[in-house]
Amino acid sequence: MEPDFLRYSCQITLPGFSEASQQQLRQAKVLIIGAGGLGCPAAQYLTAAGVGKIGIADFDVVSVSNLHRQVLYAPKDIGQKKALLACNKLGVQNPGVLLIPHDVKITSANVMDTISGYDIVVDGTDNFDTRYLINDACVIAGMPVVYGAIYQFEGQAAVWNVANADGTKSPNYRDLFPKVNAAQIPNCADGGVIPTLAGIIGCVQANEVIKYITKTGELLAGKVMVFDALTLQSRIIKIGKITNTNIVSLQHSTDAPTLTVAEVKKGLADNTLELVDIRTDQEHDEINIGGIHFEADEIDENMAYLTNSKVKVLYCSSGKRSAEAVKQIRLKSPETRVYSLEGGLKTWFESEIRD
């Protein structure tokens, strides 16, 4: 046994696993997009397992509200870039792994370049635009995607776009969710998530990557695992063996226009803008920063108000639902002066603590 294989002796002795399997891991190139609740445990275990090259793509910084589930970071890391920080920490964990930070926001303009040079992508993102973009790019590139999603007490995992023996491809994300109205669906920051669920689903994603690389076990291809953290029950939903989609190009999406907390506070002081809370009634009643309130699925009923002469700033807990709502409004009325509060209430209240 080669000296560096001593580190991996417990996995090499597994039935069906061998030094050749470990060599496959060492030669593998894995890209993890999103260094958050899912990306952290996935990256930690893939690094520990000895994957040769791991890319970490994330443009965000660590915030205090991340710490309960993003276990790679500590309070001293708040404000630092996740991709750079994650690679530095993982490099200490296993110096034999090549770690590449991609400190960029994944967009239609850079996604193909970012995923090139990798064998498989782990989707650890938390918004639908990026999830669809990663899916479509990997289908076009002929690359598998290990999907994970968490919300409150439920998690999902699957492996998309795997080559079948007859040359066809397994289903991808659009086979399961052809279209989603993201403005009506809260994410973790909005709806909450039990922290252990992030670790469970992130580890499942790492497990599927290892199985794919070493060709061991049965992949979650053509099916979705749904896990309930409250009951510890899981079920497998079969969605077919072959994709029914035909993805040949990327859908180019533009970011919703935003205003920072400082810009919004100045606008409120000058009486040049109005706030609109698009969260649920329960969320609004628990805490809000004022303004008109209606839920995201009531936008059409309020278009007359939203498109009048005064600037509107929509807000939610994290800025993601409000950004999706702004996109919808701008599609219906491109000249409307409507913006999303950047970072949502999370950033608003964090700024008040700093002030």
At residue 65, the 3 state secondary structure works out as helix
* Residue 10 is among the residues annotated as catalytic for this protein: no
* DSSP state string for 117-175: T-SEEEE---SHHHHHHHHHHHHHHT--EEEEEEEBTEEEEEEESPBPTTS-B---HHH
For strands 258-259 and 145-151, give the pairing: unpaired
For residue 109, the tally of other CB atoms under 10 A from its CB is: 11
At residue 250, the 3 state secondary structure works out as coil
Out of 40, 87, 138, 316, which one is annotated catalytic?
Answer: 316
Question: Do 156 and 229 form a contact (C-beta atoms < 8 A)?
Answer: no
Dist CA 159 CA 142 (whole Å): 13
Dist CA 249 CA 139 (whole Å): 9
Name residue, tokens 């409000």.
322
Q: Where are the alpha helices (DSSP H) in 193-335?
A: 195-214, 261-269, 281-286, 303-306, 320-332
How far is residue 337 CA from its own chain's centroid?
Answer: 29
Dist CA 166 CA 164 (whole Å): 5
Amino acid (1-letter code) at residue 91: G
3-state SS of 167-213? CCECCCHHHHCCCCCHHHCCCHHHHCECHHHHHHHHHHHHHHHHHHH
Out of 87, 138, 188, 203, which one is annotated catalytic?
Answer: 188
Cα distances (angstroms) measured from residue 77 to each of 21, 60, 140, 314: 35, 12, 36, 30
Dist CA 307 CA 305 (whole Å): 6
Token couple for 5: 């294989």
Q: Return the active site residues.
A: 188, 316
